[in-house]
């Protein structure tokens, strides 16, 4: 029997996966990323499991130098643009369960076709962003 305290929703509680295999639920708030940095420092050896719903194209690119990122479409339709070797590659996610693995160190952004929900498993250490 599942206790109420054992159930969470990824739209309000993300999960930090520790290097030792522990999973730590973290409530999402306006200060989420500041709280994350305060609690986990540089995020070395950790991954963040998160869920986002997008209504419009990303206004930035991001890159994760510490590992591959898993991106899984839950609903909607999203094109992920990967910058590799000076050119752009587009990966179309257009069915629930479709996913891609963004290689370590690859700049990427997303083009949103309609309201879309996406699950991410992100190696957070050293994540970089730049404007689109």
Residue 6 confidence (pLDDT) above 80: no
pLDDT in tens, 107-121: 999 999 999 999 999
pLDDT in tens, 22-43: 999 999 999 988 888 888 888 8
Q: What is the mean pLDDT of residues 61-84?
A: 97
Burial label for 31, CB within 10 Å (0-12, 13-18, 19+), is exposed
pLDDT in tens, 86-112: 899 999 999 999 999 999 999 999 999
Give the H/E segment covering residue 33. helix 32-40
- The CA distance from 109 to 46, in Å, is 22
Is the CB of residue 107 less than 8 Å from the CB of residue 63?
yes
Query: What is residue 3's predicted lDDT score, i.e. its pLDDT?
Result: 55
Provide the whole-model pTM.
0.91
Q: To the nearest whole number, what is the mean pLDDT of the chain?
A: 93
Walk me through the domains of the chain, giving residue ranges and CATH numbers.
Answer: 9-131 (2.60.120.10)
Query: What is residue 127's predicted lDDT score, i.e. its pLDDT?
Result: 92
Q: Which residues lie below 8 Å from residue 90, measured CB to CB, with a gap of 6+?
A: 79, 80, 81, 82
Least confident among 39-53, 64-78, 100-114:
39-53
Least confident among 25-29, 32-36, 49-53, 72-76:
32-36
Residue 79 confidence (pLDDT) above 90: yes
């Amino acid at each position: 029997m599942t206790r109420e305290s054992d159930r969470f929703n990824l739209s309000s509680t993300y999960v930090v996966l520790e290097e030792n295999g522990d999973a730590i639920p973290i409530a999402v708030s306006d200060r989420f990323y500041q709280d994350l940095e305060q609690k986990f420092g540089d995020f070395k050896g950790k991954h963040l499991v998160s869920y986002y719903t997008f209504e419009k194209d990303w206004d930035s690119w991001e890159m994760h130098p510490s590992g591959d990122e898993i991106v899984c479409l839950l609903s909607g339709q999203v094109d992920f643009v990967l910058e590799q070797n000076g050119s752009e590659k587009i990966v179309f996610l257009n069915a629930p369960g479709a996913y891609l693995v963004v290689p370590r160190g690859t700049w990427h952004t997303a083009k949103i076709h309609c309201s879309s929900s996406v699950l991410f498993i992100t190696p957070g250490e050293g994540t970089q962003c730049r404007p689109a």
